[in-house]
Amino acid sequence: MEETKKRMLSGIQPSGDLHLGNYLGAIKNWADRADEFECYYFMADMHTITVRQTPADLRKRSINQLAQYIACGLDPEKNVLFLQSHVPQHAQLSWVLSCYTMFGELSRMTQFKDKSAKHKDNINAGLFTYPVLMAADILLYQPDYVPVGEDQKQHVELTRNIAQRFNSIYGDVFKIPEPYISKMGARIYGLTTPGEKMSKSIPEGCVFLMDDPDTIARKFKRAVTDSDSVNPVRYDRENKPGVANLMNIYATLTGKSFEEIEKEFEGKGYGVFKPAVGEAVIETLRPIREEADRLIKDKAYLDDIYRQGAERASYIANKTLRKVYKKVGFYQI
């Protein structure tokens, strides 16, 4: 008898263009798992509106992000790709789970504190409760694993707590998911701010998947390193964060170890090392950019993928939601 594949789920907000950190930290690894896991990946557009968006831009980014997902290797035949807002069960389960989430738990979420500081003129309730929507995103699909970055681990822990609380009252309703953190490329830092993860909010230090080769080369030439001229290319995250970040990028793209990279650039300065990393990124992103450009022009195809993905996702989501509604006592027709 064939063993059932374990299920994995994750999503990225279409709040800006996808970048190298998204690709190396998440999407590249997602593509590699399609044969091992049953995979569900979505555009988290409902999460995006906690910050004010220009509607036309959000719609455009949602379709472009799907094209980039596919161009990065996420085969729609092997992965369920969908838009969060196309599956209403996300919002429906979120309300139920909010009644099983404690105010104190949400108050402790570090991302709420960070986002509140950045958006002081718009500290809305959604900004406070979005970890509950994230819990609904996850628990709807009963996944075994949730691939996340270190900064999202707290949200997966909250999801587990909510699921365990619900299960303790109503029985075995939700599978308790495990965070799945890739060791290599799990966290890519900004080229100009190597103490912070790569972010679209600092575009000069962020390499976007759709950047042209000249732009990428220029960004790597300007990448922050240090003044070490004796033994410049060596991995030391604490004392040489900029170099460590570049080495991590190069290692993830080439499959070389840090020791091999140190040997390759032994006796060579940053003037040789930084362009080499940039060139590796250019050649990695070139086919992705070209394929995404081609797909973006085929809106009918992308709409069809979204429609199929929503149908497949809704089938699983609805099974979970019906079970939850029955448990909490909602009368069902």
Q: Which residues form the catalytic set?
A: 115, 197, 200
- Of 273, 309, 280, which is closest to residue 82 (Cα–Cα)? 309
Distance, CA of 251 to CA of 237 (rounded, Å): 14
Distance, CA of 83 to CA of 104 (rounded, Å): 30
In the sheet that 145-147 helps form, which strands lie side by side, from edge to edge? 79-83, 37-43, 6-12, 145-147, 178-180
**161 Cβ partners below 8 Å, 6+ apart?**
105
Q: Do 45 and 85 contact (CB within 8 A), yes or no? A: yes
Kindly give the interhelix angle for 125-139 and 89-98, rounded to the nearest 10 degrees: 110
